Amino acid sequence: MKKIYKAHILYTKERSRFEVLENGYVAVGADGRVTGVAADVASLADEDAEVVDFGDRLLIPAMNDLHVHAAQYRNQGISAGDRKSQNQKELKNYKIEGLKN
């Protein structure tokens, strides 16, 4: 189901800078991808979309897990299936960072 979220939106139009859209709207398609960001809901209106109001909360669309250890950085972009085959290497990297299983 398509959804439109209302909140204070922190997003990037350009890679080098963040923008804040107070009381803005983010449209998300049925596939979970952001389809638009706008100051008014009419710009994103879709009669099938559910509107969810987060009030004064901050919404950061399309952000990923920011909890990354130094040893995992080189594995970015590898799918979960591929990462399973690297289990032994990862365990070694965790031990290098001083983490225990």
CATH number for the domain spanning 50: value is 2.30.40.10
Answer yes or no: is pLDDT of 95 > 60: no
Encoded tokens for 62: 């399309």
96 pLDDT tier (thresholds 50, 70, 90) = very low
31 & 75 share domain: no
Q: Is the pTM of this model over 0.75?
A: no
Task: Collapse the DSSP code of 101 into the 3-class scheme (helix H, G, I; strand E, B; otherwise coil) and give the result.
Answer: coil
32 vs 82: which has the higher pLDDT: 32
55 & 68 share domain: no
Residue 98 Ramachandran class (φ > 0 left, ψ -120 to 50 alpha, else beta)? left
pLDDT tens per residue across span 37-76: 999 998 887 778 899 999 999 998 876 566 666 655 555 5
State how many domains the chain has: 2
31 & 54 share domain: yes
CB atoms inside a 10 Å sphere around CB 9: 22
Q: Are 10 and 18 in contact (CB under 8 A)?
A: yes
The alpha carbon torsion through 12, 61, 74, 84 (nearest 10 deg) reads -160
Task: For residue 90, give its domain range.
Answer: 64-101
